[in-house]
Structures are given as structure tokens and as C-alpha cells.
């Protein structure tokens, strides 16, 4: 029997197995599968417990958007952490490079990696909103006549305002996520 035949034969065997089960056993199997932490007793006080975390979010687009926000944050965080001199030059910032790395790099990396790992974490999205407010204040301060990169700072401010709107919408939607639901 070839590998292709084996893969097509398995679902048939599995379907045949479940079709032969009595209705009570099928109902019991479905109840176990729907539990937040299904378990199976092995006897003598030994149990196998399967820990799952079911998430239901409305609409389904929010986790995808949240993950994309996280991936974008990783990119911005890498730019701020690895190239703080370029960030300073691009925006006309006069702060020392370690400040740029901490404010623009490390914060973005933390939120980006956290959201890329679990895009349903609303507390991280709200932390991003707070960080966005900090970015807005910093970029608004750079929007002055003494800054030779005033136009770039304004463009960055517009970008951050748009991202803040997305962060707020996504954080509100992810705050309503129900975990361990059926």
C-alpha cells in the first residue's frame, strides 16, 4: 500500500470506527471533546488531562489584524533597537540613542513578539494604545519650526494616528474575546 493510499484509507477507517459506536458512546465522546480540559482516567489515580484554550472572537478578522499589528511592531522595534541613529536622523530627535532604543525599540519589540505569539491578548493591545499616546506626544513635539525633519515627523505622526485607531479598535474587540467557550 502506498503512502497516498494510506492517507486516504485512514479517514475511512476512522469514520467507520465512529459510525459503529453506539449513540451513547458518540455523545460521551462529543462531551469529552467539548470540555475545556478533557481528561481520561488510566486507573490507580492516574489521569491524562489535555489543556486547551478555545477562543471565540467576533469578528474573526480581529485576531488576524492583531497579529499583523504585532508583526509590524516587530519591524518598527527592530528599526528602533538596531538603528537608533537612523531613527534620530529621520525624525530629527535630539535624545541619546539609548533613550530612542528604549522608547521606540524595546517597547515595540515586546508588544510585537507578544501579539505575534497570541494575538488575542487585549492587555497588550491596550499597552500599545498607551505607547501610541506616548509616540503621539513625542512626534507632536518634533513638529516645530526648529526641527529640520518637520515634514517627516508630521508624516510619522499621521501614521501613528492611523495605527492608534487600529490599535483601539482591535483592543476593544479583543477585550470581548471569550476563552474556553464551546
Cis peptide before 103 (omega within 30 of 0): no
Higher confidence at residue 92 or residue 177? 92
Q: Tell me the CA distances in angstroms from 173 to 75, 77, 96, 121, one per residue in order.
A: 24, 24, 37, 11
Task: Write the burial class of residue 23 (CB in 10 Å: 0-12 exposed, 13-18 middle, 19+ buried).
Answer: exposed
Give whole-number Cα distances, 37 to 25, 53, 181, in Å. Answer: 19, 9, 11
CA distance 94 to 72: 25
pLDDT interval class at 76 (50, 70, 90): confident
CB atoms near residue 20 (< 10 Å):
9
What's the pTM value of the predicted model, to 2 decimals?
Answer: 0.61
Domain boundary assignment for the chain: 3-49, 55-179
Q: Which of 93-97, 122-126, 178-182 has the lowest mean pLDDT?
A: 178-182
Amino acid at each position: 500500500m502506498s503512502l497516498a493510499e494510506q492517507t486516504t484509507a485512514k479517514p475511512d477507517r476512522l469514520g467507520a470506527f465512529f459510525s459503529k459506536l453506539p449513540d451513547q458512546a458518540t455523545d460521551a465522546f462529543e462531551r469529552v471533546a467539548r470540555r475545556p480540559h478533557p481528561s481520561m482516567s488510566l486507573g490507580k489515580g492516574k489521569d491524562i488531562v489535555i489543556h486547551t484554550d478555545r477562543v471565540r472572537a467576533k469578528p474573526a478578522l480581529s485576531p488576524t489584524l492583531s497579529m499583523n499589528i504585532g508583526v509590524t511592531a516587530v519591524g518598527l522595534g527592530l528599526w528602533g533597537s538596531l538603528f537608533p541613529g537612523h531613527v534620530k536622523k529621520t525624525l530629527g530627535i535630539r535624545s541619546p540613542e539609548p533613550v530612542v532604543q528604549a522608547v521606540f525599540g524595546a517597547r515595540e519589540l515586546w508588544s510585537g513578539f507578544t501579539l505575534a505569539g497570541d494575538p488575542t491578548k487585549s492587555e497588550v493591545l491596550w499597552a500599545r494604545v498607551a505607547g501610541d499616546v506616548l509616540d503621539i506626544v513625542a512626534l507632536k513635539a518634533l513638529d516645530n519650526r526648529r526641527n529640520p525633519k518637520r515634514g517627516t515627523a508630521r508624516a510619522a505622526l499621521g501614521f501613528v494616528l492611523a495605527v492608534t485607531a487600529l490599535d483601539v479598535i482591535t483592543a476593544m474587540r479583543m477585550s470581548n474575546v471569550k476563552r474556553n467557550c464551546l
